[in-house]
């Protein structure tokens, strides 16, 4: 229990003034613009959009600046902002098969239609600090352009599904559940689980995905495909009655291919773990796909023994904004609670002292 | 895009898609070279809200809610014709320009000039940007070489 206490206004206002000053840093150093954050820290922007569950690059960049680079605080700011806006409706499901690819790789097929397209990746970089970046205004490399563009290519999972080796997804029907409207209920269906994981904390989902690889509920994953690129968003305004494209967004999709020993009704085949996230977030999409597959254990008739397979454990703890709220609320005054604990402890100790005195006297 | 839609709607969807991807300044600059659009009446002032973006489990399975995106909408009237815009982001000027153009483009007397003067150049720029990116991606495509087996 915590009680409202009057006072402290002056201290709070001084603390906020100091916060502003520390955000600005040394005034001799030029101030960071929101456009600079947006353009030059695109992956931080992507993470904040994903965890803030709101696609708007400028707002995410502004939140990062305001939060002094604390990305969970920035996601919190974005989530808070979205509650001020009306919801116009829902888009048609993204057609990721028609993605304009920047990157597309498969670890299961060397030669596949469309090929291995590396895109702007950190892979194959040496992970040595590049001191050239510390010098401003140096010449940058220009990315070369091939004669022919990369075409849109079918998904790898589709190639396997055509052969009957990959379980087809249930096409589903009706409205998917929405965590922004209804609280979690268990057992949670896959639509709700995917929404939860898509906006879950990257570190938490990554650690859970990692745990499945280390033997806590593993399913021999292969990266069937990772694709990064732009997809058109289609929305049907009620006043028009037909779908229109309202723009394009960047997303990352990961299809994990996993073994499945089959069941009484289904032959042995591969199954999918799926990851889809805003922006370029490969680690996040891969981790999501691993955990999605782990959470399908129950419906695929596998033993549910590991943390990553436990719906309640995963879905209740993945949201870093809820988590930070509950952990950080411990900072709020708990004076009355603590006073009663203190009194309790003193009473117990006094009783123990009386007891031992009486025993000594006997 | 489905090819089942009757032509007028297909054409309208095309210009709306182009305007949704254009910046307000770009649209305004192209409009400045043309005779001014007739004044429009705002039926719904530009308003920013959210659209919930959906994905499909496994890419082709049941729909799920991925997360929201900011969208700005506007509705205007020119004469008896209503123009609509829903554009990604929070640019109210873009939404209003797009709505006014949507109304004007529905007028057969104005359509050709506006298609040639505004939509076609925007579309060409967007295509060129897409093409350049796709060619950049193609330059990073791996060409595997067979390795000689050594003993």
Give per-residue pLDDT as tens, A306-328: 999 999 999 999 999 999 999 99
Residue A291 lies inside a defined structural domain of this protein = yes
Q: Chain A: nearest CA to B76, how far in angstroms? A: 13
**Among A52-56, A106-110, A316-320, B106-110, where is mean pLDDT lowest?**
A106-110
Q: Chain A: nearest CA to B90, how far in angstroms? A: 8
Across the interface, whether the CB atoms of A242 and B13 are under 8 A apart is answered yes
Is-contact B77 B107, C-beta < 8 A?
A: no
Residue B28 lies inside a defined structural domain of this protein = yes
Residues A115 and A238 in one domain: yes
Q: Compute the half-sphere exposure of residue B142: CA atoms within 13 Å on the CB side of its CA.
A: 18
Q: What is the pLDDT of residues A184-220, one digit of tens each?
A: 999 999 999 999 999 999 999 999 999 999 999 877 8
Phi, psi for A354 (deg, rounded to 5): -60, -40
Q: Does A61 touch chain B (CB under 8 A)?
A: no
Structure confidence at residue B84 (pLDDT): 98
Q: Does A89 touch chain B (CB under 8 A)?
A: yes
Q: What is the pLDDT of residues A293-309, one digit of tens each?
A: 999 999 888 899 999 99
Q: Which of A82, A105, A133 is a domain's end point?
A: A82
Q: Is residue A94 pLDDT above 60, yes or no?
A: yes
Residue B134 lies inside a defined structural domain of this protein = yes
Spatial CA neighbour of A171 closest among A181, A179, A180, A161: A161
Structure confidence at residue A219 (pLDDT): 75
Q: How far apart are CA B72 and CA B51, in angstroms?
A: 10
Query: Which residues in A lie closer than 8 A to residue B147 (C-beta atoms)?
Result: none
Residue A32's domain comprises 14-82
Q: Is residue B1 pLDDT above 50, yes or no?
A: no
Q: What is the pLDDT of residues A264-282, one digit of tens each?
A: 788 889 999 999 999 999 9
Query: Which residues in A lie closer than 8 A to residue B64 (C-beta atoms)?
Result: 176, 190-192, 194-195, 198
Q: Is residue A2 pLDDT above 70, yes or no?
A: no
Q: How many domains does chain B have?
A: 1
Residue A343 lies inside a defined structural domain of this protein = no
Residues A105 and A53 in one domain: no
Which 3 state secondary structure label does DSSP give A352?
A: helix
Residues A101 and A39 in one domain: no
* Contacting B residues, span 9-38, partner chain A, CB-CB under 8 Å: 9, 13, 16-17, 20-21
Residues A105 and A48 in one domain: no
Best B5, B61, B101, B129 residue to mutate vs chain A (most A CBs within 10 Å): B61
Strands A54-55 and A222-235: unpaired
Best B60, B76, B91, B128 residue to mutate vs chain A (most A CBs within 10 Å): B60
For residue A113, what pLDDT band results from cuts at 50, 70 and 90?
confident
Q: How many domains does chain A have?
A: 2
Residue B63 lies inside a defined structural domain of this protein = yes
Spatial CA neighbour of A63 closest among A94, A89, A41: A41
For residue A137, what pLDDT band results from cuts at 50, 70 and 90?
confident
B44: Cβ–Cβ under 8 A, 6 or more apart, which residues? B73, B74, B75
Percent of chain A with pLDDT over 70: 98
* Alpha-carbon separation of residue A265 from A118, A160, A268, A269, A293 (angstroms): 39, 19, 10, 12, 19
Q: What is the pLDDT of residues B38-95, one digit of tens each?
A: 999 999 999 999 999 999 999 999 999 999 999 999 999 999 999 999 999 999 999 9
Residues A158 and A43 in one domain: no
Residues A165 and A295 in one domain: yes
Q: Is residue A112 pLDDT above 60, yes or no?
A: yes
Tokens found for residue A59 = 């707002």
Residues A64 and A164 in one domain: no
Q: How far apart are CA A287 and CA A41, in angstroms?
A: 22
List the single residue in B with minimal CA-CA distance to A84.
Answer: B49
Residue A138 lies inside a defined structural domain of this protein = no
For residue A362, what pLDDT band results from cuts at 50, 70 and 90?
confident
List the single residue in A with minimal CA-CA distance to B44.
Answer: A239
Q: How far apart are CA B137 and CA B126, in angstroms?
A: 17
Residues A285 and A310 in one domain: yes
Residue B95 lies inside a defined structural domain of this protein = yes
* Contacting B residues, span 43-72, partner chain A, CB-CB under 8 Å: 47-71
Residues A76 and A114 in one domain: no
Among partner residues B88, B137, B141, which is closest to A233 by beta-carbon distance? B88
Structure confidence at residue B40 (pLDDT): 96
Query: Which residues in B lie closer than 8 A to residue A243 (C-beta atoms)?
Result: 13
Strand partners, B69: A55, B51
Q: How far apart are CA B101 and CA B114, in angstroms?
A: 8
Residue B126's domain comprises 8-149
Percent of chain B with pLDDT over 70: 92
Within a 10 A sphere around the Cβ of A5, how many other Cβ atoms?
Answer: 9
Which residue is listed with tokens 């080796």?
Answer: A165
Which 3 state secondary structure label does DSSP give B54?
A: strand
Residues A182 and A242 in one domain: yes
List the single residue in B with minimal CA-CA distance to A91.
Answer: B53
Among partner residues A91, A149, A237, which is closest to B53 by beta-carbon distance? A91
State ipTM: 0.92
Across the interface, whether the CB atoms of B62 and A169 are under 8 A apart is answered yes
Query: Which residues in B lie closer than 8 A to residue A272 (C-beta atoms)?
Result: 58
Across the interface, whether the CB atoms of B88 and A247 are under 8 A apart is answered yes
* Contacting A residues, span 166-225, partner chain B, CB-CB under 8 Å: 168-173, 176-180, 190-192, 194-195, 198-199
Q: Is residue A333 pLDDT above 90, yes or no?
A: no
Residues A185 and A234 in one domain: yes
Across the interface, whether the CB atoms of B66 and A276 are under 8 A apart is answered yes
* Contacting A residues, span 126-155, partner chain B, CB-CB under 8 Å: 143-151, 155
Q: Chain A: nearest CA to B5, how far in angstroms? A: 9
Q: Does A86 touch chain B (CB under 8 A)?
A: yes
Q: How far apart are CA A47 and CA B10, in angstroms?
A: 36
- A338 sits in the region (left: phi over 0; alpha: psi -120 to 50; else beta) called alpha
Query: Which residues in A lie closer than 8 A to residue B23 (C-beta atoms)?
Result: none
List the single residue in A with minimal CA-CA distance to B8.
Answer: A242
* Relative orientation angle of helices A57-66 and A71-82, to the nearest 10 degrees: 130
Residue A209 lies inside a defined structural domain of this protein = yes
Is-contact A119 A99, C-beta < 8 A?
A: no
Residues A209 and A61 in one domain: no
Residue B77 lies inside a defined structural domain of this protein = yes
Residue A236 lies inside a defined structural domain of this protein = yes
Among partner residues B54, B88, B132, which is closest to A246 by beta-carbon distance? B88
Query: Which residues in A lie closer than 8 A to residue B132 (C-beta atoms)?
Result: 145
């Amino acid at each position: 229990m915590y009680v409202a206490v009057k006072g402290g206004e002056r201290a709070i206002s001084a603390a906020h003034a100091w916060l502003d000053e520390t955000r600005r840093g040394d005034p001799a150093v030029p101030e960071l613009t929101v456009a600079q954050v947006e353009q030059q820290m695109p992956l931080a922007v992507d993470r904040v959009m994903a965890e803030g569950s709101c696609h708007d690059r400028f707002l995410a960049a502004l939140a990062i600046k305001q939060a002094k680079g604390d990305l969970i605080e920035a996601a919190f700011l974005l989530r808070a902002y979205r509650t001020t806006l009306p919801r116009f409706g829902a888009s048609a499901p993204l057609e990721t098969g028609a993605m304009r690819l920047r990157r597309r790789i498969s670890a299961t097929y060397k030669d596949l239609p469309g090929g291995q397209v590396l895109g702007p990746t950190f892979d194959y970089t040496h992970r040595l600090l590049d001191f050239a970046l510390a010098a401003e205004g140096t010449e940058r490399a220009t990315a070369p352009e091939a004669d022919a563009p990369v075409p849109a290519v079918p998904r790898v999972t589709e190639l396997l599904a055509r052969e009957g080796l990959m379980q087809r997804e249930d096409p589903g029907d009706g409205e998917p559940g929405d965590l922004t409207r209804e609280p979690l209920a268990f057992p949670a269906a896959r639509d709700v689980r995917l929404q939860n994981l898509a906006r879950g904390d990257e570190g938490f989902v990554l650690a859970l995905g990692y745990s499945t690889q280390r033997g806590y509920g593993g399913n021999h994953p292969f990266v069937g495909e990772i694709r990064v690129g732009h997809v058109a968003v289609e929305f049907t305004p009620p006043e028009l009655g037909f779908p229109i494209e309202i723009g394009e967004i960047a997303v990352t999709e990961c299809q994990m291919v996993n073994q499945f020993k089959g069941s009484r009704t289904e032959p042995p085949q591969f199954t999918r773990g799926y990851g889809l996230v805003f922006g370029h977030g490969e680690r996040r999409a891969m981790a999501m796909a691993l955990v999605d597959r782990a959470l399908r254990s129950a419906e695929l008739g596998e033993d549910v023994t590991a943390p990553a397979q436990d719906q309640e454990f995963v879905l209740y703890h993945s949201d870093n904004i809820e988590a930070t709220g509950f952990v950080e609320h411990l900072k709020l005054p708990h004076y009355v609670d603590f006073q009663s604990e203190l009194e309790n402890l003193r009473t117990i100790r006094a009783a123990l002292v009386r007891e031992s005195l009486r025993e000594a006297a006997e | 895009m489905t090819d089942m839609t009757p032509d007028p709607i297909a054409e309208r969807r095309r210009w709306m898609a182009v305007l949704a991807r254009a910046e307000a300044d770009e649209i305004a600059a192209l409009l400045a070279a043309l005779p001014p659009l007739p004044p429009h009446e705002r039926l719904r002032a530009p308003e920013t809200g959210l659209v919930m973006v959906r994905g499909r489990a496994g890419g082709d399975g049941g729909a799920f809610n991925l997360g929201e995106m900011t969208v700005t909408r506007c509705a205007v009237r020119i004469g008896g014709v209503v123009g609509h815009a829903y554009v990604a982001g929070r640019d109210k000027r873009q939404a209003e320009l797009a709505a006014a153009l949507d109304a004007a483009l529905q007028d057969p007397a104005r359509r050709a000039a506006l298609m040639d003067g505004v939509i076609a150049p925007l579309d060409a720029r967007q295509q060129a940007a897409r093409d350049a990116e796709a060619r950049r991606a193609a330059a990073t495509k791996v060409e595997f070489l067979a390795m000689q087996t050594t003993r």
